[in-house]
């Protein structure tokens, strides 16, 4: 990392009244050199802030004194959440999707992190194999909660084998200490057929309720397998295997309810879809803290589309305590073109998992004239069927068969800062498309607006 570089200054803020420019590098705050945005926020909280800045082209550092109300935001945005260096992952998990990426994608996609700070800020999962006593003290002292932890298995030998790291056998001791200190923790288990499912999965869930009962949630997630995987032991779940995982999750939901007074074990929506089942309704979920794992995402979208619940108010647990933490990775601004073209018809283009769900929603709501087309994910192959992993090259092939007079809607979740995973932009597509924010409410509003404009024209 290059340090803390100022990326924006809020107008009328305390910082805007000082000699600070976009591009300045933050050297220190009140005599201390912050290592991340969390420490920076704590240092600027007081009524007087002394910044030491380095400007490009200037040999001398500049000292800037800012007087403000205690707790008042300084008004500076920093271009990175981590100022020293992201703590990268030294595991070599057989199921890691990064190892299954083809060459030539954006460089940032190949970064594996195992940094508890990014877990707190963005909901990234950490295995705790690089966690230390110093990290534990900081988490407890600064109340960095919630954190997100990858368990995968509580069998020490199996966990070390899956992570291909001997520390995997012992690193869950930190999970026990975090929970003991009152830190809220969400856990995930990437379930791999023939590896950590069956009896091993049942053992892990028993341990989760008995050894780690304070866990806020435990998500069972199917392994993603692309056509680029070199692991012979990794494969997709069969329908029968997905049914077993769903049944086990629902059994432990009842157990956790009986033992703990709350439900803490959930199977990903994808497991239900692979098993040919309807994912649970929104009443089963208190929040979307495990949304990145597809826990309750279908239910939230459906309720947002029907107006039963505002999806925005559910929250995903990210950026909970740190104002101004910059967007990072696939949580960066999606971008895209939201202007609605005129056309004779409307088609929604999405992933293979979402297509039947959207079809049912549209029919029930009277949008029977709107077509829903699934994009086969030839780029990744394997069992990759989610809308968020649609690539520009696959979308381009799908668009070629759609009449020019048709308005094409795509979910903005497949874009990050205006680019698809394969690096293509909307301008690289063979025809214009309109991006829609990935909530049911936004999709319905767009469809109603399009229908109204067509009626007016006719």
Question: 80-95, pLDDT tens digit by residue?
Answer: 889 988 899 999 999 9
SS (H, E, C) 177-195: HHHHCCCCEEEEEEECCCC
The answer to whether residue 211 scores a pLDDT higher than 60 is: yes
Where is pLDDT greater, at 436 or 3? 436
pLDDT of residue 103: 84
3-state secondary structure of 347: strand
pLDDT of residue 175: 98
Confidence of residue 329 (pLDDT cuts 50, 70, 90): low
The answer to whether residue 116 scores a pLDDT higher than 60 is: yes
What's the rounded mean pLDDT across residues 125-146? Answer: 96
CA 148, CA 128: separation in Å to the nearest integer? 10
CA 393, CA 421: separation in Å to the nearest integer? 10
pLDDT of residue 297: 87
pLDDT in tens, 361-418: 999 999 999 999 999 999 999 999 999 899 999 999 999 989 988 999 999 989 888 8
Hey, what CATH class is 333-457 in? alpha beta
Confidence of residue 344 (pLDDT cuts 50, 70, 90): confident
The pLDDT > 70 percentage for the chain reads 94
Kindly state the helix (H) or strand (E) to which residue 394 belongs, with its residue range.
helix 392-399
**Pairing state of beta strands 371-374 and 345-350?**
parallel
3-state secondary structure of 362: helix
Hey, what CATH class is 4-78 in? mainly beta
Confidence of residue 307 (pLDDT cuts 50, 70, 90): confident
Confidence of residue 315 (pLDDT cuts 50, 70, 90): very low
pLDDT of residue 112: 87
Task: State the chain's maximal CA–CA distance in angstroms.
Answer: 69
DSSP 237: P
Q: Which fold has domain 98-313?
A: pyruvate-formate lyase- activating enzyme (3.80.30)
Positions of CATH 2.30.42.10 in the chain: 4-78
The mean of the pLDDT values for the chain is 90
Q: How far apart are the first and last CA of the chain?
A: 57
What's the rounded mean pLDDT across residues 50-76? Answer: 92
Which neighbouring-strand residues pair with 82? 36
Closest listed residue to residue 136, CA positions, set 185, 85, 175: 175
Most confident segment among 7-16, 67-76, 155-164, 273-282 = 155-164
Where is pLDDT greater, at 205 or 285? 205
Do 412 and 375 touch, CB atoms closer than 8 A? no
What single string gives the DSSP state of each residue in 48-89? EEEEEEE-TT-SS-EEEEEE--TT----EEES-SBSS---B-
pLDDT in tens, 158-206: 999 999 999 999 999 999 999 999 999 999 999 999 999 999 999 999 9
The answer to whether residue 321 scores a pLDDT higher than 80 is: no
The answer to whether residue 23 scores a pLDDT higher than 80 is: yes
The answer to whether residue 420 scores a pLDDT higher than 70 is: yes
The answer to whether residue 319 scores a pLDDT higher than 60 is: no
Confidence of residue 1 (pLDDT cuts 50, 70, 90): very low
pLDDT of residue 362: 96
Confidence of residue 282 (pLDDT cuts 50, 70, 90): confident
The answer to whether residue 316 scores a pLDDT higher than 70 is: no
Positions of CATH 3.40.50 in the chain: 333-457
Kindly state the helix (H) or strand (E) to which residue 348 belongs, with its residue range.
strand 345-350
Q: Which residues contact 185 (CB under 8 A, 6 or more apart)?
A: 146, 147, 148, 149, 175, 178, 179, 212, 214, 215, 216
Confidence of residue 267 (pLDDT cuts 50, 70, 90): very high
pLDDT of residue 318: 39
Where is pLDDT greater, at 292 or 25? 25
What's the rounded mean pLDDT across residues 142-170? Answer: 96
């Amino acid at each position: 990392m290059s340090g803390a570089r100022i990326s924006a200054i809020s107008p009328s803020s305390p910082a805007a009244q000082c000699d600070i420019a976009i591009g300045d590098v933050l050297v220190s705050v009140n005599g201390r050199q912050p290592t991340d945005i969390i420490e920076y926020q704590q240092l600027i909280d007081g009524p007087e802030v002394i910044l030491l800045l380095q400007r490009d082209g200037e040999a001398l550092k500049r000292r800037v004194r800012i007087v403000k109300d205690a707790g008042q935001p300084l008004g500076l945005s920093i271009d990175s959440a981590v100022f020293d260096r992201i703590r990268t992952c030294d595991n070599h998990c057989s199921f890691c999707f990064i190892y299954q990426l083809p060459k030539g994608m954006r460089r940032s996609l190949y970064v594996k992190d195992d940094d508890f700070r990014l877990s707190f800020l963005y909901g990234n999962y950490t295995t705790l194999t690089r966690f230390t006593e110093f990290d534990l003290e900081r988490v407890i002292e600064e109340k960095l909660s919630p954190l997100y932890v990858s368990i995968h298995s509580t069998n020490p030998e199996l966990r070390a084998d899956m992570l291909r790291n001997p520390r995997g056998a012992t690193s869950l001791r930190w999970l026990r200490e975090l929970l003991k200190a009152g830190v809220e923790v969400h856990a995930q288990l990437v379930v791999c057929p023939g590896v950590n499912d069956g009896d091993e999965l049942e053992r892990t869930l028993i341990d989760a309720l008995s050894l780690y009962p304070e866990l806020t949630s435990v998500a069972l997630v199917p392994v993603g397998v692309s056509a680029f995987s070199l692991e012979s032991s990794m494969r997709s779940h069969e329908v029968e295997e997905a049914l077993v995982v769903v049944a086990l999750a629902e059994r432990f939901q009842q157990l956790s309810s009986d033992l703990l007074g709350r439900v803490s074990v959930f199977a990903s929506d994808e497991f239900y879809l692979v098993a040919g089942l309807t994912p649970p309704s929104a009443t089963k979920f208190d929040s979307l803290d495990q949304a990145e794992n597809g826990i309750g995402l279908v239910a939230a979208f459906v309720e947002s589309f029907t107006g039963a619940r505002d999806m925005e108010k559910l929250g995903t647990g990210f950026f909970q305590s740190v104002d101004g933490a910059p967007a990072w990775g696939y949580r960066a601004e999606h971008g895209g073109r939201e202007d609605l073209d005129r056309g004779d018809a409307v088609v929604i283009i999405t992933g293979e998992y979402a297509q039947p769900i959207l079809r049912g929603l549209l029919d029930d709501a009277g949008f029977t004239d709107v077509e829903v087309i699934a994009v086969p994910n030839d780029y990744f192959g394997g069992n990759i069927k989610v809308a968020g992993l649609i690539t520009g090259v696959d979308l381009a092939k799908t668009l070629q068969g759609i009449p020019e007079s048709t308005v094409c809607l795509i979910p903005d979740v497949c874009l990050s800062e205006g680019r698809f995973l394969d690096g293509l932009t909307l301008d690289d597509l063979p025809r214009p498309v309109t991006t829609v924010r990935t909530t049911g409410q936004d999709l319905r509003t767009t469809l109603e607006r399009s229908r109204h404009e067509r009626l007016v024209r006719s």
